[in-house]
Amino acid sequence: MLDKLEFYHGAALVRLMEHPQCRSVRKCGLGYVVNDEVYVLVKYTTKHRSPWRFSFDHDDLSGLKSDAQTWKTAVVALVCGGDGVCALTMGQCDRLLGGGMGWISAKRGFNESYAVAGSADELEHKVPVMFWPLLVFESIRTGTQSTIPVCPKPTEASFATAAMPSRSSMS
């Protein structure tokens, strides 16, 4: 029988490894190293419906900061049950947590992006589902935490003019 960690980490890692720019993924400390450049911490929740909450305790944070210092950049992958993966930079996580222990939550409606908040702050923009694993490879390309633009919060006007993407175009 599969362990829950294997099941949920596997969901994130398969998408990562299927990306054409992925050359290698290996275990390192609490997370994984991609292409010998980016450290990825995967956290998961088994909850089926939004919102999903992820706790970060002292051990999580000290291990993450210690492991992440060795690599160019770090990405946190939040596996939201069977819904998808919400990808955040280390800087975003630090801001959401206020530099200490706490929680990060992700919520999304059908065909929407993730609204992300933490115990100390919230992101002003939503995180698109397709950011995982793109954020990892954009971090490799630029050598920075992220230069991928985020989606602005939707307005009533954007709902009236936005076309819904098909499920196949988001894969």
DSSP 39-75: EEEEEEE---SS-EEEEE-HHHHHHHHHHHTTSSEEE
Q: What span, in angstroms and rounded, lies between the C-alpha atoms of 83 and 150?
A: 19
**What is the pLDDT, as a whole number, of residue 128?**
95
Kind and range of the H or E run holding 157? helix 156-161
What is the model's pLDDT at position 119?
Answer: 96
> What is the model's pTM?
0.80
Residue-wise DSSP of 79-117 = EETTTEEEEEEHHHHHHHHTTSSEEEEEE--TT-PBEEE
Q: What is the pLDDT along the chain (171 residues), one digit of tens a residue?
A: 668 888 888 899 999 999 999 999 999 888 999 999 999 999 999 999 999 999 999 888 887 888 778 887 899 999 999 899 999 998 899 999 998 999 999 999 999 999 999 999 999 999 999 999 999 998 877 765 543 333 333 334 433 333 333 333 344
